[in-house]
A and B are shown apart, each in its own frame.
Chain A
Amino acid sequence: MPKQVLIRFERCVGCRSCQLACAVAHSEAKSLYGAVLNGEKPRARVFVHQAGEHKAPLNCRHCQDAPCIDACIAGAMHRKADDTVTNIGGEQYCTACWMCVMVCPYGAVRSDAAGTMAVKCDRECKDDQGVPACVRACPTGALVYAEVDAYSAGRRQGVLLQALGGV
C-alpha cells in the first residue's frame, strides 16, 4: 500500500515550515540559501490556514477517484506509477483552464506565479530516505508519511490507551 501524507491537525502550530520546505524542494537550487541567493521564487504546494481556532495544513490527497483527472480536458492531469496525481510529465501540457482548481474538493491546486499553469503537490520532493519535504520539515509531527492502515492503527492505539489505559 503506498504511503500518504496524513495530517494530525491537533499538532500543527502554524509555523509554515512545511510550506517553506515544499517551495525549496521545487526550486532549481534545492536549498533555502541557494534559492534565496539565486533570486528564485518557487511556490509551495502545501497550504497552512487558520480555521477558526485551529491552524491547519492541507495538501493534495492524491484521490483514488480523482475529480481533477476526470475534469482535465487537456489531458495533462494523470496518475503516475507511484499512484500520485500530477499535471506534469504526462502526455499533454496543462493549458491553465483551471478545471482541476474548480473540481478539487480541497482546494489543493493553485496557479503558478505567472498564471500560466496549475501547480499542485507532485511528491517530487522526497529526500534520500524517501520522505516528502513537508513531512521532513514539520517540527511537531503534524504531517506524517505513512500507510493509511498503519496510521489508523496508531490512532486507535492512542485513543484506546486514553480511554482504557487507567482501567
Chain B
Amino acid sequence: MQSADPAVREMLDEARRRGVETVWDRYAAQLPQCGFGELGVCCRNCMQGPCRVSPFDDGPARGVCGATADTMVARNLVRAIAAGTAAHSGHAKHLAHTLKKSVQGKAPDYPVRDEAKLRAVAARQGLEADGVPAAELAARMAEAALANFSEGEEPLAWTTATVTAGRVQAWEKLGVLPVGIDSIISEIMHRTHLGVDADAVNLLLGGVACAVADYTGCHLGTDLADILFGTPQPVVSEANMGVLKADQVNIALHGHNPVLSEVIVQVARQMEDEAKAAGAAGINLVGVCCTGNEVLMRHGIPPATHSISQELPMLTGALDAMVVDYQCVYPSLVGVAECTGTKIITTMGMARITGATHVDFEEENAAAGARQIIRLAIEAFGARRGRPVQIPQYKSQVVAGFSVEAIVAALSKLDAADPLKPVIDNIVAGNIQGVCLFAGCNNVKVPQDENYLVMARELAARDVLLLATGCGAGAYARHGYLTPEAVGEYAGPGLKAVLTAVGEANGLGGPLPLVLHMGSCVDNSRAVDLAVAVANRLGVDTAQLPVVASAPEFKTEKAVAIGTWAVACGLPTHLGLVPPVLGSATVTGLLTGGIKDLLGGYFIVETDPVKAAEKLFAAIQERRRGLNLATRSW
C-alpha cells in the first residue's frame, strides 16, 4: 500500500494510467539507497572527500582527514539540525520583517489584526506596553523579535520567557542556551567544517543548542503570525481532494509561510466577479502542506492534501494553479503541471523552480501581487473550461483552530478561575493518562498516514489526549480524526468523558475532536506553551510531565530540529523511521539513552506503529509513576 488515503490511491491509478511520474516512482527508481548514507557514515565536507567509512571491519575506518564514524555521524546530524533551524527561523524572520514594514507604513496590506495577542506577547516578553499605542508597541515587538537572530550576549528573550525555569536551568548547565539564532546556525557550520569539532558528544551538544534556537524561531513564527493575522479559533471545514470544485477556479496554496497566502485569501474574495466573468462559479482556495494549515487555522480554507501526495491534486485536471512559497515544495510539480495544465507559480525570490511561472512577491505590493497571481489562475481556468475532470469524491469534516488561547477559552467554560484545573484533575484521576503530540511529515518510505492512524487509535483507546501539527494534523484531517464522531469511534472511556464535558460546556452538543489540530509545523511551539502552562501550574518541569511526542513519518531536516528540541524540552520523542545515525554506536546510544540523564527527554526509534504506541504509553506511565500518579499497563 502506498497510501492509506483513498483519494491518493485513486489519483495514483490515474497517474499510472497517464504515465505521470510521482514521488513513489522516483523512490522505486532510487532503490536500493546507499547504505553508507543510511548509516550516516559518508562525508562531503571537504574536497579531499567524499569519504565513507565501513560499518564493518572491512574497509576504511576513517575519512582522509581522520574523521571517524562518530565524528561523521554527529557532524551530519547537527548540520541537518542547522538546516532545519535556518528554515524555521527564515520563516520567522520573514514575518518579523513584514511586521516591521507594516509599522513603518511600507506594507499597507498588513495591519496588526490581533492587538490582544500583541499585548499578551509584549507582557510575556517584558516589553513596556502600558499606555503605549498598538502601532508603537508593534514597532517595539518587531525590533525585539529581530534581536533574537543576530549574536547577543545573553540567552534569547524568546527562549527564556517561553519555557519553564527548570528548563532554562537545565540548558544553562549544559551550555546549550544559544545567544543568537543566526549565530548558532553559523557556529554549527563552522564546527562541522574540516578540522574543527571532532568530538561526537560535543558536536551533539552543539546540535541541541541549535535545536533550542530552532524552538525559539518556531515560537517567534507562531507569535508574529498570530499578531499579524489573528490567533486561531475553532473553525469547521473539510479536507481531502473532494474539496476541489469542477466549476470553480481552484487555487492551491502550498508551502509554509502565511505572509502571501493571507493576502491571497483576502484578495480572492474581491475577485469573485472576475472569476465569474471568465465563466467560473467562483474562486475555490484549497491548502497543501503547512501554508494549508495556516489558512485552515485562521480562515477554514480546506486542505486538499499534504506532503508526499502534493503532486496528485493536479491529476484531477481541476487544479488551475498551485501557488507556492517555500519549504517542502517538490521541484517535480513543474513536470506534472506540464501534463495537467496547472500553473505552478513560485513567489519567493529565494525559492524558484525552473519551468515555473514566477511572480516576485513583495510585502510592499502584496495585494497587487496576489491579484496578479489569481488572474493567472483565472486564465488557466479559461483554458481548461469544458475539459473533463476527475475529482476523487473523498472529503472529511474537520474541526481545527486549536491555539492555546482557544483551548484555554474552551476549558474556562468548566472553570473560569483556573482553566487548566479540569485537565490537571483528569490527568491526576487517570481519565487522561497523558498527552501525545503528533508532528512531522509524510515519508515515501512509509505507507502514507498509516503510522499516524494506527498510533492515534492505539493511544486514544488508552485515554491519551492527542495533539497534532503540520502534515501529521493534515493526515488526521483527511481521515476524519479531527471530528467529534472519531471520539465515539476510537477514544477510551476516560478521554471520551473529558472531551465530551469540554465540548458540552462550550455548547457543541458533543465532544471536542479526537485530535486537536494546533497548526503548522512552527506551531509545535503552541504545544510547548500548553505543556509549560500545565507544568508551571503544577510546579514541576516539562521533563516530568506525562507528555510525549511522535514524528511517525518524518522526512525533513526541520523535523530533525523539532525532534531534537522536543527532547531538549524533556519529552520522550518517537521517530517512526531510523535516522541516519546507526553508523555510530556512540551517537545512537547518546540519543536513545544517555541524553535522558542530561535533558529528561530522549529518542525512541520504532518503525512498527503498534509497538511505538506501546513504548510511548510506557514512557507516559514512567512519568506518572514519577509524579506519584496511578499507572496502568498496556
Contacts and interface: CB of A to CB of B under 8 A. Distances in A.
A20 B36 contact: yes
Contacts of A44: 56, 58-59
Given A19-B59, A43-B56, A36 B39 contact: yes
Contacts of B38: 32-33
Interface in A38-71: 39-44
Contacts of A43: 56-58
B34 A23 contact: no
B55 interface: yes
A23 B39 contact: no
B52 interface: yes
29 contacts: A15-B36, A16-B36, A16-B59, A17-B32, A17-B34, A19-B58, A19-B59, A20-B36, A21-B32, A23-B56, A24-B35, A32-B39, A32-B55, A33-B38, A33-B578, A35-B56, A36-B39, A36-B582, A37-B582, A39-B585, A41-B57, A42-B58, A43-B58, A44-B56, A44-B58, A44-B59, A113-B58, A136-B32, A139-B34
**8 nearest A-B residue pairs (beta carbon):** A20-B35, A41-B57, A41-B56, A36-B582, A43-B58, A36-B55, A32-B35, A137-B32
Contacts of B57: 41, 43, 113
Interface string B25-48: 000000010111011000000000
Nearest to B60: A16
Contacts of A41: 56-58
B583 interface: yes
B58 A17 contact: no
A23 B57 CA distance: 10
A34 to B, nearest CB: 10
Interface residues of B, number: 17
Interface residues on A, range: 20 to 34
A23 B578 CA distance: 20
A68 to B, nearest CB: 21
A40 B56 contact: yes
Given A36-B39, A42-B58, A44-B59, 18 more contacts: A15-B36, A16-B36, A17-B32, A19-B58, A19-B59, A20-B35, A20-B54, A20-B55, A32-B39, A33-B582, A35-B55, A36-B583, A39-B585, A40-B56, A41-B58, A42-B56, A136-B32, A137-B32
A21 B35 contact: yes
A35 B583 CA distance: 11
Interface of A: 15-17, 19-21, 23-24, 32-33, 35-37, 39-44, 113, 136-137, 139
Contacts of A37: 582
Contacts, number: 54
B451 to A, nearest CB: 18
Contacts of B35: 17, 20-21, 24, 32, 137
A41 B583 CA distance: 13
Interface string B167-211: 000000000000000000000000000000000000000000000
A17 B55 CA distance: 12
A20 B585 CA distance: 18
A137 B33 CA distance: 8
A96 to B, nearest CB: 18
Contacts of A113: 57-58
A101 B582 CA distance: 34
Contacts of B56: 23, 35, 40-44
A20 B38 CA distance: 12
A116 B35 CA distance: 28
Interface string B58-69: 110000000000
Interface string B278-299: 0000000000000000000000
A19 B57 CA distance: 12
Nearest to A133: B32
A96 B52 CA distance: 31
Contacts of B52: 16
A132 B367 CA distance: 60
B610 to A, nearest CB: 19
A139 B585 CA distance: 27
B52 to A, nearest CB: 7
B474 to A, nearest CB: 29
A36 B583 CA distance: 7
A111 to B, nearest CB: 11
Contacts of A20: 35-36, 54-55
Nearest to B32: A137
B591 to A, nearest CB: 14
Nearest to B29: A139
A103 B57 CA distance: 25
A139 to B, nearest CB: 7
A23 B34 CA distance: 14
A113 B578 CA distance: 29
A84 to B, nearest CB: 22
Contacts of B36: 15-17, 20
A158 to B, nearest CB: 22
A24 B56 CA distance: 9
A82 to B, nearest CB: 24
Contacts of A33: 38, 578, 582
Contacts of B34: 15, 17, 139
Nearest to B52: A16
Interface string B250-267: 000000000000000000
A40 B38 CA distance: 17
A47 B36 CA distance: 16
A35 B58 CA distance: 13
Contacts of B582: 33, 36-37
